[in-house]
Amino acid sequence: MMRPKATYVRPGTLTEAVDLLQDLDDRCKLLAGGTDVATELRSGAIRGRCLVDLSALPELKGIHEAEEELVIGSGVTLSEIASSAGVARGAPALAKAAAVFGSRQIRNMATIGGNICRASPAGDTLPPLYVQDAELELTSSSKTRRVSIRDFIQGPGRIDLKAGEILKCIRLKKAADFTMHRFDKIGNRKALAVSIVNLAGLVALSPDGIIQRIRLAWGSVAPTVVRSSRVEAFLTGKPLRMETLDQAYPLVQDAISPIDDARASAAYRRRVAVGLLFRLTTQQESPDSIMDIA
Amino acid sequence: MNMKEIKKIGRNWLRRDAAEKLRGNPVFCADLTLENPLTLKVLRSTHAHARIKRIDVDRASRTQGIARIFTAADIPGKNLAGIINKDHPLLVPDKVRHVGDAIALVAAETETAAERALQAIQVTYEDLPVIRDPEEALKEDAPRIHETGNLLFTRKIKRGEVERAFDDCAVVVEKTYRTSFLEHAYLEPDAGAGYVAADGTLVIYASTQNPHYDHGEVASLLGVAHEKVRIIQAATGGGFGSKLDLNTQGFIGLALYYLGRPVRYVYSREESFLATAKRHPLTITIKTGTDSQGRLMAMRARILCDTGAYGSYGIAVASRAAVHATGPYEVPNVDIEALCVYTNNPFAGAMRGFGAPQAAFAFESQMDLLAGELGISPLEMRRQNALREGSFTGTGQKLTASVGIRDCLNAVKPFYERVMEKWRHDPAPTFKKRGVGLGAMWYGIGNTGLQNPSTAQIEMDPEGSVTLYTGCADIGQGSTTVLSQIAGEMLGLSPGAIRAVVADTKYTTDAGATSASRQTYISGNAVKDAAGKLVEILLTEASNLLKRPKESLIVDSGLIRDKNDPEKTVPVTDIVRRAHEKGLSLKCQGSFDPVTEPLDPETGQGVPYATYAFACHLAQVTVDVLTGEVEVNRIVAAHDVGKAINPAGVIGQIYGGVAMGIGFGLMERYVPGRTVSLNDYDIPTCKDMPDIVPIVVESAEPTGPYGAKGVGEPALIPTAPAVLNAISDALGERIYTLPANLERVLEAAVAAGVFPGSHGVKQPA
């Protein structure tokens, strides 16, 4: 395999990085954990582009938990998220998504910022961020701005990251007032799989089983993650039961627009998008549950 | 032989290559240190079927760092390879038959230079109609992929009066089953290296399953004398059949022939996917009938094998699929035809099981369908039809010994009964369904109705040290350990004390391919034969010296002693010295060729194999009806191996076979033109692995070494059928196409009406 030519820089501070980006043209590529960039390098997709490695920036590291907010540095790895007590408290669905992301080796390298900026329709951290209305903090040499994840991600691989900007951190309102925090992922195998459909769900249930608030975000069923106010509004105030969810079937179908690809057909994704909704009526299994099989 | 004396056989021995691999020693082709080597790369066709009008290498030849660019015109010998039928050019002279066909070979100073040159070669193609579907390829007006036509081979097996038997059947089931192209996905992508020795010999290291075949093929491609080539098998990181073909060996040989400099060629994973053999996709239409008691009476099968652009092992796959289509059952009337057809798909060759895994999916699905119609349990259905001693197979072979299928079924029976009683009917988690399935199989050891001998030598030096010479390629399955155990047992030595010279064509003779699960049985016998002759010489000499009858003497731990008089001993070294003084050679030749009879071309009657392995797997699965996810909870795997020479090795094969079988059953599918690498070809991970209960059944084979048969391929074969039968049991709906991926399982759940809610039937637009 021929290694494409690329200049490579690894700034040591955020200031250094944004100054550097100001001087570079927009053909440069940001590298965080490198788990996607490495495959693009190998395939030649980013041949000839300069690489700016953000992995040494201390400002992108760390998870900070405040009273009502969780701030996750864009350079935090999926392994760190999966094992963070703060994330387990403030964003349990994200913690679950991180725990089933790729493989252990990938989780040790890949960052949440990289997963967001990749903007894959199948990105596993995205639905949990959508249900918590994550805000992204972007910084350049001249200014810092905040944008919601829904506005930031515009399409597959298309993001609102301006020349010279770096995604610094992700801000989440803690979802403590929800009783259920779910993340489910369907892939061709049980690890190291690209999501064919995924669903993050937050539900606040009354003691008698009525949905008081619900937020749902589907991945891999449209160019970007799907949240549907119609589905959420329809389910609010109704009991969390199969009958209710079954009635939402047509609304879900209207909200999503999946495609056929190498991994699955659109028809499969349409059905499973609802299948995962039905799963909300069950207890979520812990990932390593052991069944008595003898 | 007195069984109490057996100490090396049936004991777990650490694999002889374990230490060097655990230490990370540089044993693979890619690790070899060569002096200033050139890197090789092949320009591969981007067209599936096209005439080559022109190959312009001028510009590419002038790029920096290029030693030479070769095309078909440079091949000095016969530019056609293939183990069964020679149809595969090393570099295509005039037309390409699949995407990935080799057009030009670049030898360059660096990998970068080689890549640059590949991009600078200009090929002018004239496209020809592309045939993807073997049915299309068989049509009379179909364009010919090879001049000989698109039908490569037909295997027919006819016995009894099938149509009349169907008329008398109480139950008849006819279905069509389909399987996919699969990639072997061995750990080590194909690789080779080489240099020219001082005496002019072309020395080629290869990741290979068959060094002696490689040797002949390279000599033929180059038109050089046999002695001018030496193939050394480097450590080989798995093969599963694909490393039976020439992959890098011919290219290495060609470059050495012209350039004389050391060369290396290591495929990327992408090239390994693009350019090497795949598993044959089979379409099997099978009609099976029973009497009212559930006794199999008749079977008719039509099998279509897509061998893609080249034959490779396609003829063997079609032949084996046909022979094995009855399953391990007595079927008195059979009419089977298997066609092997060229298309412009990637070429398909050997892959663990040669068509038997595909056939097992069909015949084991049929067994459950019939059992369902008859209201008999799937286990009883199999037990009452299983082959036994005295049974005749579809080819008219009378089985006389080592028919362990019943033992396998009986070994699984208590597990089956227990799970059917409890686990199967205990409440499953919400939206999940449990199922239990059986998959049985038989597998003929060695090549189908062909001679397939092995040879070996055992030599004792004047100090009494023993060297085993074998051409048998150990590709990770552990044959060198097993052969050392056999030699050690014969000579009363620890297997580890025997020096093994393996798979180097300068020092070893042909042991045949490491394929068809044949090495333990066939090469094991060759080694045993050689060792037996050496023992005979030693005991004859010792008998003269000790004045004891030869029959009462044994060799053990460097001594020859009288079984009945432990005081009466003589060191082996004394005997060796005497033998040398008398001019006796202590290098003994061994050989073995299983007794087979060729199959009649019209009726397929004959003796395809001297012995068969048998197995039965029990699968417990949990199917998620919301998503089509299948969790394989447990596989109970009973295998009749005749005798487990190294039980740990047998169990290792069973684990690996189950993993591969789950991939075949549930997820693996190579889509020509789309699948590129492990990025988009999913094989099972450890998380997909079930609990596995291996059960070793030993129905001794009288002609086997210590009763041994084989297990390499059998390990894989029953898993997919068992899992598919279990899914069908869980859902009440059967899947007829492999893999039973998420999509197909969910479709089956919807068809079975078990997808919950009111939208279960109609698929929204």
Find, among A58, A61, A45, A51, the residue nearest to A14 by Cα.
Answer: A58
Residues A212 and A226 in one domain: yes
Q: Which CATH number fits the domain that encloses residue B493?
A: 3.30.365.10
> Model confidence over B353-394: pLDDT tens digits?
999 999 999 999 999 999 999 999 999 999 999 999 999 999
Cα separation of B664 and B439, whole Å? 14
Chain A's closest residue to B739, CA to CA, is A188
Per-residue confidence at B567, pLDDT binned at 50, 70, 90?
confident
State how far the alpha carbon of B193 is from the alpha carbons of B159, B229, B247, B266, in Å. 50, 13, 12, 8
Using N-to-C axis directions, what is the helix angle for B719-731 and B647-662, rounded to 10°?
50
Closest residue to A188, CB basis, from B116, B686, B742: B742
| A261–chain B Cβ distance below 8 A for any pair | no
Tell me whether residues B750 and A282 touch, CB distance under 8 A. Answer: no
> Model confidence over B22-37: pLDDT tens digits?
999 989 999 999 999 9
Domain-ending residue, one of B524, B558, B592:
B592
Cβ-Cβ contacts under 8 Å, A196 against chain B: 742
Is A49 within the bounds of a domain?
Answer: yes
Q: Chain A: nearest CA to B111, how far in angstroms?
A: 6
| A286–chain B Cβ distance below 8 A for any pair | no
Cβ-Cβ contacts under 8 Å, A268 against chain B: 628, 742-743, 746
Cβ-Cβ contacts under 8 Å, B629 against chain A: 186
Q: Report the 10 Å Cβ neighbour count for B114.
A: 26
Terminal Cα-to-Cα distance of chain B (whole angstroms) = 73
Most A CBs within 10 Å, among B269, B270, B627, B685, to test the A interface:
B627
Domain-ending residue, one of A138, A173, A208:
A173
Chain A's closest residue to B667, CA to CA, is A188
For the sheet containing B466-470, what is the strand order? Answer: B499-502, B466-470, B454-460, B587-592
What percent of chain A shows pLDDT beyond 90?
A: 85
Look over chain A and give the mean of its residue pLDDT values, rounded to a whole number. Answer: 93
Largest CA distance in chain A: 65
> Model confidence over B594-642: pLDDT tens digits?
999 999 999 999 999 999 999 999 999 999 999 999 999 999 999 999 9
Residue B52: predicted pLDDT? 98
User: Over 70: is that where the pLDDT of A285 sits?
Assistant: no
Cβ-Cβ contacts under 8 Å, A251 against chain B: none
Residues A186 and A224 in one domain: yes
Residues A147 and A192 in one domain: no
The domain tally of chain A equals 3
| Cβ(A102)–Cβ(A36) below 8 Å | no
Residue B2: predicted pLDDT? 45
Domain-ending residue, one of A32, A53, A74:
A53
Residues A97 and A132 in one domain: yes
Residue A54: predicted pLDDT? 97
Residues A90 and A164 in one domain: yes
Pairing assessment for the beta strands B38-44 and B102-108 based on DSSP bridges: antiparallel
Per-residue confidence at B761, pLDDT binned at 50, 70, 90?
low
Cβ-Cβ contacts under 8 Å, A245 against chain B: 757
Cα separation of B711 and B559, whole Å? 35
Residues B328 and B418 in one domain: yes
Tell me whether residues A276 and B626 touch, CB distance under 8 A. Answer: yes
Residues A48 and A62 in one domain: no
Residues A205 and A192 in one domain: yes
| Cβ(B234)–Cβ(B214) below 8 Å | no
Is A130 within the bounds of a domain?
Answer: yes
| A196–chain B Cβ distance below 8 A for any pair | yes
Q: Which CATH number fits the domain that encloses residue A22?
A: 3.30.43
> Model confidence over B209-250: pLDDT tens digits?
999 999 999 999 999 999 999 999 999 999 999 999 999 999
Tell me whether residues B743 and A265 touch, CB distance under 8 A. Answer: yes
User: Over 60: is that where the pLDDT of A110 sits?
Assistant: yes
Which secondary structure element, helix H or strand E, spans residue B271, and what is its range? helix B269-275
Residues B688 and B733 in one domain: yes
Residue A7: predicted pLDDT? 85
User: Over 60: is that where the pLDDT of B147 sits?
Assistant: yes
Domain-ending residue, one of A173, A198, A222:
A173
Residues B193 and B340 in one domain: no
Residues B614 and B668 in one domain: yes
Look over chain B and give the mean of its residue pLDDT values, rounded to a whole number. Answer: 96
Return the amino acid letter for B442.
Answer: W
Residues B92 and B241 in one domain: yes
Residues B671 and B742 in one domain: yes
Cα separation of B554 and B538, whole Å? 10
Handedness of CA B548, B549, B550, B554 (dihedral sign): negative
| Cβ(B486)–Cβ(B526) below 8 Å | no
User: Over 70: is that where the pLDDT of B4 sits?
Assistant: no
Q: Chain B: nearest CA to A188, how far in angstroms?
A: 7
| Cβ(B49)–Cβ(B96) below 8 Å | yes
Is A294 within the bounds of a domain?
Answer: no
Look at residue B412 and give its three-state secondary structure. Answer: helix
User: Over 70: is that where the pLDDT of A219 sits?
Assistant: yes
Is B42 within the bounds of a domain?
Answer: yes
Tell me whether residues A275 and B759 touch, CB distance under 8 A. Answer: no
Find, among B61, B67, B66, B68, the residue nearest to B113 by Cα.
Answer: B66
Residues A161 and A185 in one domain: no
> Model confidence over B179-206: pLDDT tens digits?
999 999 999 999 999 999 999 999 999 9
Is B431 within the bounds of a domain?
Answer: yes
Is A41 within the bounds of a domain?
Answer: yes
Dihedral (Cα; B2, B7, B12, B14), 10-degree rounding:
-140
Tell me whether residues B746 and A268 touch, CB distance under 8 A. Answer: yes
Residues A115 and A13 in one domain: no
The 8 Å CB, 24+ separation contacts for B17-26 are B17/B235, B17/B474, B17/B480, B17/B481, B20/B235, B21/B235
Largest CA distance in chain B: 93
Residue B589: predicted pLDDT? 98
Residue B765: predicted pLDDT? 43
Residue A5: predicted pLDDT? 52
Most B CBs within 10 Å, among A199, A243, A263, A271, to test the B interface:
A271
Is B759 within the bounds of a domain?
Answer: no
Residues B689 and B670 in one domain: yes
Interfacial residues of B (vs A; Cβ cutoff 8 Å): 111-112, 115-116, 268, 418-419, 423, 429-431, 620, 622, 626-629, 633-634, 667, 671, 674-675, 679-680, 682-688, 691, 741-743, 746, 750, 755-759, 763-764
- More confident of the two residues B763 and A158: A158
Lowest-pLDDT choice from B75-84, B132-141, B142-151, B573-582: B573-582
Lowest-pLDDT choice from A68-72, A284-288, B673-677: A284-288
Look at residue A274 and give its three-state secondary structure. Answer: helix
How many contacts, defined by CB atoms under 8 Å, are there between A and B?
Answer: 103
Closest residue to B687, CB basis, from A190, A250, A276: A190
Chain B's closest residue to A249, CA to CA, is B759
Q: Which CATH number fits the domain that encloses residue A197?
A: 3.30.390.50
Residue A290: predicted pLDDT? 39
Residue B361: predicted pLDDT? 98
Per-residue confidence at A283, pLDDT binned at 50, 70, 90?
confident
Q: Which CATH number fits the domain that encloses residue B106?
A: 3.90.1170.50
Is B668 within the bounds of a domain?
Answer: yes
Cβ-Cβ contacts under 8 Å, A1 against chain B: 111, 115, 268
Q: Would you call B31 exposed, middle or buried from its count of C-beta atoms within 10 A (0-12, 13-18, 19+)?
A: middle
Q: Chain B: nearest CA to A58, how far in angstroms?
A: 32
User: Over 50: is that where the pLDDT of A194 sits?
Assistant: yes
| Cβ(B353)–Cβ(B445) below 8 Å | no
By residue range, what is the domain housing residue B459?
Answer: 3-24+453-592
Q: Chain B: nearest CA to A141, how far in angstroms?
A: 37
Cα separation of B39 and B30, whole Å? 11
Measure the CA angle with vertex B227, ends B221 and B231; round to 5°: 70
Terminal Cα-to-Cα distance of chain A (whole angstroms) = 49
Closest residue to A39, CB basis, from B628, B679, B691: B679
Per-residue confidence at A6, pLDDT binned at 50, 70, 90?
low
User: Over 50: is that where the pLDDT of A292 sits?
Assistant: no
Is B513 within the bounds of a domain?
Answer: yes
Closest residue to A246, CB basis, from B746, B757, B763: B757
What percent of chain B shows pLDDT beyond 70?
A: 98
By residue range, what is the domain housing residue A222?
Answer: 180-281
User: Over 70: is that where the pLDDT of B644 sits?
Assistant: yes
| A250–chain B Cβ distance below 8 A for any pair | yes
Closest residue to B685, CB basis, from A189, A196, A250: A189
The domain tally of chain B equals 3
Is B379 within the bounds of a domain?
Answer: yes
Q: Would you call B5 exposed, middle or buried from its count of C-beta atoms within 10 A (0-12, 13-18, 19+)?
A: exposed
User: Over 80: is that where the pLDDT of A206 sits?
Assistant: yes
Chain A's closest residue to B668, CA to CA, is A188
Tell me whether residues B429 and A278 touch, CB distance under 8 A. Answer: no
Residues B237 and B322 in one domain: no
Cα separation of A65 and A72, whole Å? 9
